[in-house]
Structure 1
Amino acid sequence: MIGAPAVAVTGLGLITPAGDGVASTWEQVCRGQPTSAVDPRLSGLPVDFSCSLQEGTLLGRGAPARSTWRMSPVAKAAVSASYDAVLDAGLETASWDATRVAVVVGCGVGGLAQWRTQALRLADKGAASVSPLTMPMALPNMPAGEVALSLGIHGPSLATATACASGASALMIARGLLASGQCDIVLAGGSEMAVDPLTVAAFHRMGALSTRGHDISGASRPFSPERDGFVISEGAAILVLERVQDAAARGRRPRAYLAGCGASTDAYHPTSPHPQGTGSEIALRQALGDAGLAPADIDHVNAHATSTRLGDAAEAAVVGRSLAHGPTVTAPKGVLGHTLGAAGAIEAALTVLTIEHQLVPPTANLDGAVAEGTLNHITDTARPQRVAAAISNSFGFGGHNVVLAFTADPPD
C-alpha cells in the first residue's frame, strides 16, 4: 500500500539450507559458504544437485502432533518458521486477540510433488488409489491456512502467488493490512519446498538451471561472468510485523522497520525480464518514494540475483542506474540457491539482519571480475558497515517486480 506508514519487524523465523533457525542461517550466509550438493531426490536427471534443507530440520514444529500428518512439506515449513517468529517477537498466542492477527504467506509452486505423485497413482492404479489429502496438501493457499490453524489465528489468511516475488508480495500486502486497521499483527513471508524431479526437469528444459555439475559448490554464481543458471533450493521465512506504536506499547524493540514498498509488472515476456529493467526500476523508485527516501539514502542492496544471465544483467543495470552513488550489494543466492516463492521473504529477513548487525554478508562465488556494471559488490568476507537504509529486490516469472525498503530507525 503506497503511502502507508512504516511498520516494525518484531520477529523472524528462518528455515533454509544453511540451517534451521535465524542464527545458523545468518552465520553461514556471513561465511559465504555455498550449500549446494548432490541431491538423491534428483538422481538420474541432467541436473542432480540442489540446495536442500539440512538433515534433522524439524518441519511442523508448533503444530499439534495430531495434525502434522496431513500437511505437505511446504505447509510444515511455513508453520515452523511462523512458530519461531512468534517466539522471537515475544508474543503469546494464548493472550493475543486472534481476530486481530493475520497471516500472509507467499508460495510460488506449492504442492507440485503431491500433484505429480498422485497423477502417477491415478495412471498406474486408478482413481481409488488417489489420496483424499491430495487437494489440501497441494493447494498453494494451504501454508497460510495451516499456519492459521496451528496458531489459532482468526484474522485474514491470505496467499500470494507472484512466482519468485511471492514472499516479498506477502510482506507488501501485510503492511497494507496493518495500515488499513484490519489487524494489529501480521505473520508474513514465504514458503517453498519445490525440489522435485518434475520441477527440476522443467526448469532445466527452459535453460534456467546451472549445469555446473563439475563444480557444484560453485554453481550458483550471482553476477559472475561464468554464471549459467540458478540452483534450486527450498525453505521458508516468516516476519512478524506490527504497527510501530503497538510494538512500542508492549516494550518490544524492533529488529528493523519496513518503511516502503514498490511493485510493478514488466508486461514484456512470460519468463524473461525487460533487458533494461524498466519495470524493476519503477518498483525501486516507488519503494523509495513510499519510504520517503532519496536514492542516496540507500546504503545497501540485497539483490535478487538468481545467477541467470538475463536476470542478473537487468538487475545490475537498474541498480547501477538508479543508485549511482554505489551502495554495497550482496546476493544471498550464492549461498542459499533459489528458493523460488520463499526467496523474497528469506532475503527480506536477511536484509533486516544486515541492518540489525550492521554487517553485510558476501556474495559467494564472486571472487573475480563481474559481468556487468561497476556495482559495489561485497565478496570473500562479511563487511561491517553502517546501514541506515537498505532495499531488497524480488522479481518473478510473469514480470512481477517487488522492492522492499527497510530502515534502522523508526519514521519521524
Structure 2
Amino acid sequence: MTHDPIAITGVGLVTAIGIGNQEYFDGLLSGHNGVTSLADRTDGDVTPDENEPVDGVWVGAPITAFEPKKYVRPRKALKVMCREIQIALASAHLALEHAGIEGPLTDDGALSPSRVGTVYGSELYYTPPADLVDSIRSSVDESGEVMLSDFGAAVRRDVMPLWMLKFLPNMPACQVSIAINAQGPSNTLVAADASGPNALAEAISYLQRNLADLVLCGSSGTRIGALRLAYHGDLPTVQRGERSLEHTAVAHGREACGVVGGEGAASLTLEPLTRAQQRGATVMGIVSSIASRFVAAESIRSGTYSGELHPKHSKGSAPALKLAIQATLEQADLTADQIGAVVSHAVGELGMDQAERTALAETGINAPLVAPYASLGHTGAASGMIELATAALITANNQVPPTRNADLAAEDCFLQTPQFLKQPHVLALSQTCEGAATAAIISQP
C-alpha cells in the first residue's frame, strides 16, 4: 500500500542556544555556545560553591532564558510539572504556533480534537534534591546517620501528595494532550537517546493508519540533574584539563575528555502532505524514511559496561547504525551520494562517536556532519528529536550549519564550515550506549 508522504509543518525547540526554531538555527549558524558553569543554571537544581572549580559535573549547558509561566496554562499546573515536562510543553506550543495552528482545539474548528495525536519520547525524570531535603533532615539520628526506617514516614509527611506526578515519564505526552485538547491516540516511548526517533516512527504509524490527521511528537531530557548524575554511571563526566569552558563539548574528538551534560526539548507537527498543502501550511521537510535497529554494544556483550573515560570495551554500535542507515536508504530509494548532510549523534564519548564514523564510512556516506552536541551538550532523551528538528531546519533553510570545536575533531570526520545544502536529503542519526540505533531521512519537499 502506498501512503501519502508525511510532512513536517512545525518545529519547536527549547535549548541552551535558543528558544524557538529560528533562534536555535541562528545559534547553530553563528556557532553560539551553550556550555557554561552550572552556577548559571536557573532550574533550582544544585550549583557549585562560589570557590569550587568549574569541572566535572559542574560543566553543562543549561537553558537559562526559559520562563515556564509563558507557556503553562493554568499556571497552577506547574506544581505537577518537573523541568523536563515544562520544556516539552513549551516546545509543543512553539511547534503548533510554527505550523499555524491555534490551541486549544475545539470541536467546531478546522482540526477536530479527536483527530490529533500526541506521542513523546521520554526518560526517567529525577527530583531535584531540594524536594527531599526536609525529609532527609528529619530522618537523621543523634549521631548524624540517616535512618532509612524513618525516611518513608518523613516523605509521606513532608512531600506534597501529587509529587510523583511531576516525574512520571508519560507526563509530557499527557500534559501536551491536556493543554491543546488533543483527544486522538497518545503514547510515550522510553528508549534513552533514541526516544525521539522512536516517537517519530510511532507518530507516522498513526497517520498512515488514518488514526489521526495531525500528530504532535517530541521528546525532552536532561543530563545535568543532580540526582541523575549521582545515580547513573553510563557516560564519563567531562574532564577539562587545560581546556577552556567553550572547548569542553567536542564532537568526534581526537582524544577523550568526557561528556558535557545539557538539557532540551523539541517537538514536530506531522501531517499527510496532501492535507498540509490543502490548508496552505509551509512544509519544512518530508520524512522519506526511518528505521531502528539493535546490535548489542561490545561493552554489553562482554559484561564490562562502565562510565569510565577509557572503558575496556566500547559503547555504541557501528553494526546497528550501519543496518539502520542501509534500511533508510533502501526505503527512500536513495543512494549514499544523494545525502546532502548528516546530523550527527556524536556526544563526546570516543566509542560511540567512532561507531558513527565507521557506519558512515561503511555505507559510503561522505556528506558534511552537523553535531548539535558541541553547542548544546548531551540532552539525553531529547537529543534524537533535536537532531531530527535540526534536519528539518536544514532542509527548510537550505543551509548546513557548522559544528563548534571542529578543529579538535578526528581526521576522518567531515565537520565543515557553513555551506548550502548540495543534495535535498538529510540523514539524522541517533544511538544509545547499549547498541540501539535509528536513522531517518528528511527531504526537501
Q: TM-score with structure 2 length normalisation?
A: 0.84
Cα distance in 1 for partners of 2:2, 2:47 equals 45
61-70 or 306-315: bigger deviation: 61-70
Partner Cα distance (2:181, 2:31) in 1: 38
The equivalent of 2:415 in structure 1 is: 377
Question: What is the DSSP-based 3-state SS (H/G/I as helix, E as strand, rest coil) of the residue aligned with 1:367?
Answer: helix
Deviation at 1:276, TM superposition (A): 6.2
Tell me, yes or no, if structure 1 residue 401 matches structure 2 residue 400.
no
How far apart, in 2, do the equivalents of 1:137 and 1:207 lie? 26
1:107: how far off?
1.3
Secondary structure at the residue paired with 1:66? Answer: helix
Q: Does structure 2 conserve the Cα–Cα contact (< 8 Å) formed by 1:288 and 1:294?
A: yes
Structure possessing the higher radius of gyration over alpha carbons: 2
Instruction: Say yes or no: does 1:237 pair with 2:273.
Output: no
2:91 matched to which residue of 1? 81
For residue 372 of structure 1, report the CA deviation from its aligned partner: 5.4
2:347 equivalent in structure 1: 306
- Give matches, 1:330-341, under 5 Å: 330-341=370-381
Q: Give the corresponding residue for 2:198.
A: 169
Q: Is the Cα contact below 8 Å between 1:73 and 1:193 reproduced in 2?
A: no
Provide the C-alpha distance between the structure 2 equivalents of 1:247 and 1:62, rounded to a whole number of angstroms: 27
In 2, Cα distance between equivalents of 1:376 and 1:59: 41
CA pair 122-289 structure 1, distance change in 2 beyond 3 A: farther
**Alpha-carbon shift at residue 371 of structure 1 (Å):** 2.4
- Scaled by the length of structure 1, the TM-score of the pair is 0.90
- Where do 1:99-248 residues align within 5 Å? 99-109=114-124, 111-113=125-127, 121-125=134-138, 126=154, 127-202=156-231, 205-206=233-234, 208-212=236-240, 214-248=243-277
Listed one character per residue, the Cα deviations across residues 339-364 of structure 1 (whole Å, up to 9, x for unaligned) are: 11001111111111111111111111
Structure-1 residue corresponding to 2:361: 320
Name the SS for the 2:347 alignment partner.
coil
Residue 121 of structure 1 deviates from its aligned partner by 4.7
- Select the residue among 321, 324, 337 that pairs with 1:283: 324
Contact 2:317 2:435 in 1 (8 A): no
Distance apart, 1:294 and its partner CA: 2.0
**1:365 matched residue in structure 2:** 405
Range with bigger deviation, 300-309 or 382-391:
382-391
Structure 1: gaps of 5 or more residues:
none
Name the aligned partner's letter for residue 328 of structure 2: A
Aligned partners of 1:163 and 1:398 also within 8 Å:
no
Q: Which deviates more from structure 2 when the two are superposed, residues 289-298 or residues 192-201? A: 192-201
Shift of 1:5: 5.2
Cα displacement string for residues 74-117 of structure 1 (whole angstroms, at most 9, x for unaligned residues): 111111111111111112333221111111111123x2125x55
Structure 2 match to 1:347: 387
Aligned residues: 400
Displacement after TM superposition at 1:3 (Å): 8.1
Q: Is the 8 Å Cα contact of residues 235 and 349 (structure 2) preserved in structure 1?
A: no
Task: Tell me, in whole angstroms, the C-alpha distance in 2 between the residues paired with 1:120 and 1:62.
Answer: 27
RMSD after superposition: 2.3
Counterparts in 2 of 1:4 and 1:403: CA distance versus 1, 3 Å:
farther
SS at match of 2:407: coil
C-alpha change, 1:276 and 1:185, in structure 2 (3 Å) is closer
Letter aligned with residue 359 of structure 1: Q
Secondary structure of 1:200 counterpart = helix
Q: Secondary structure at the match of 1:259?
A: strand
Unpaired segments ≥5 residues, structure 2:
40-45, 50-54, 139-153, 306-312
* 1-structure distance, mates of 2:401, 2:60: 21
For 1:275 and 1:146, the matched residues in 2 are separated by 32
- Distance in structure 2 (CA, Å) of the matches to 1:273 and 1:344: 20
Structure 2 residue 86 is the aligned partner of structure 1 residue 72:
no
Corresponding letter in the other structure for 2:127: A
In structure 2, what residue type is equivalent to 1:167?
G
1:202 Cα deviation (Å)? Answer: 4.4
Contact 1:300/1:328 (CA < 8 Å) preserved in 2?
yes
CA contact (8 A) 1:358 1:387 kept: no
Counterpart AA for 1:308: E
Task: Provide closer, same or farther for how the CA distance between residues 365 and 101 of structure 1 changes in structure 2, counting only shifts above 3 A.
Answer: same
Cα deviation digits, residues 247-278 of structure 1 (max 9, x gap): 11112130111110010112234467667600
Tell me the SS of whatever aligns to 1:344. helix
Distance 2:175 2:70 in 1: 10
Distance 1:5 1:241, change over 3 A: same
Taking a change above 3 Å as real, the CA distance of residues 208 and 346 of structure 1, as seen in their structure-2 partners, is same
Distance 1:307 1:340 in 2: 13
1:112-169: CA deviation from partner (whole Å, max 9, x where unpaired): 125x555555444313112212221111000111101111111122111110111111
Cα distance between partner residues in 2 of 1:321 and 1:3: 30
Q: 1:17 corresponds to which residue?
A: 16
Match of 1:43 in 2: 48
Q: More displaced, 60-69 or 131-140?
A: 60-69
- Letter aligned with residue 77 of structure 1: I
